[in-house]
Amino acid sequence: MLDRRDVVRALLEDRGDLLVVAGLGASAWDITAAGDCPNNFPLWGGMGGAAVLGLGLALAQPQRRVLVITGDGEMLMGLGALCTIAVKKPANLSVVVLDNEHYSETGGQETATRHGVDLAAIARGAGIADSRVVHGAQELGPLRQAIHATTAPLFANVKVAPGNHPLVLPPREGAYLTARFREAVLGPAAHHQL
């Protein structure tokens, strides 16, 4: 079974100017373990909001590629976002769920995906045509390439092993995370434009 840290490291290899949003908890620790940088926006809260936050970013920056990495529990809390994304069809947005079928931050309780709920089928049903399930390491290279070459939204449900990794925490100050990200995307004008 795939290891979530290996998956994230593989997907973020040679990422160029890829913008990355991570859902709260383990996904945020995973992108930080792969290397914290201003083009990362790790969330500390707002459970259920990661994918649609990525939509807002993708619509505001249509020439940049946006990747949302989140967990199955976080995605399950905001399934409507898949409909909202499918309707807007941003060409530059990918959503990757690291599906370990558990709420790993809260004691390892089972999520709905443990009981057969198929997030990729839900995404496909919403209208995201390229919705895939990833089980093997050999599928990560093609997924990474697709993230950099999409012409329509992409959804991938990557099955990963349950269990917790050592904490690798990103900065916690929300204003700092916002300011460094906006400066990375918009330049120094980010702090002056109104």
Partner 1 sequence: MDRDALEMRPDAAADWPDRIFDILKAHGITHVALVPDAGHARLIRRCLADPAMTVVTLTTEEEGVAMLVGSWLGGAKGVLLMQSSGVGNCINMLSLPVLHRAPLPMIVTMRGDFGEFNPAQIPMGNAVQPTLEAMGTLVRRADVPQDVPAVVDAVIRLAFNTYRPTAALLGQRLIGAKTFGKD
Note the residues at the interface with partner 1 (CB under 8 A): 21, 41, 43-50, 52-61, 64, 78, 80-81, 83-84, 87-88, 174-175, 177-178, 181-182, 185-186, 190, 193-194
Closer residue to partner 1 (CB): 6 or 36: 36
Closer residue to partner 1 (CB): 73 or 78: 78
Closer residue to partner 1 (CB): 106 or 138: 106
Q: How far is CA 96 from the centre of its chain?
A: 5
Long-range contacts of residues 164-171, Cβ cutoff 8 Å, at least 24 apart: 164/26, 164/104, 164/105, 165/4, 165/5, 165/26, 165/29, 165/30, 165/33, 167/29, 168/29, 168/30, 168/32, 168/33, 169/29, 169/32, 170/28, 170/29, 170/31, 170/32, 170/36, 170/40, 170/42, 171/36
> Shortest Cβ distance from residue 2 to partner 1 (Å)?
27
> Shortest Cβ distance from residue 127 to partner 1 (Å)?
13
Closer residue to partner 1 (CB): 149 or 194: 194
> Shortest Cβ distance from residue 49 to partner 1 (Å)?
3
Backbone angles phi, psi at 74, to 5 degrees: -65, -45
> Shortest Cβ distance from residue 66 to partner 1 (Å)?
8
> Shortest Cβ distance from residue 100 to partner 1 (Å)?
23
Closer residue to partner 1 (CB): 83 or 133: 83
Residue with tokens 């990422």: 15
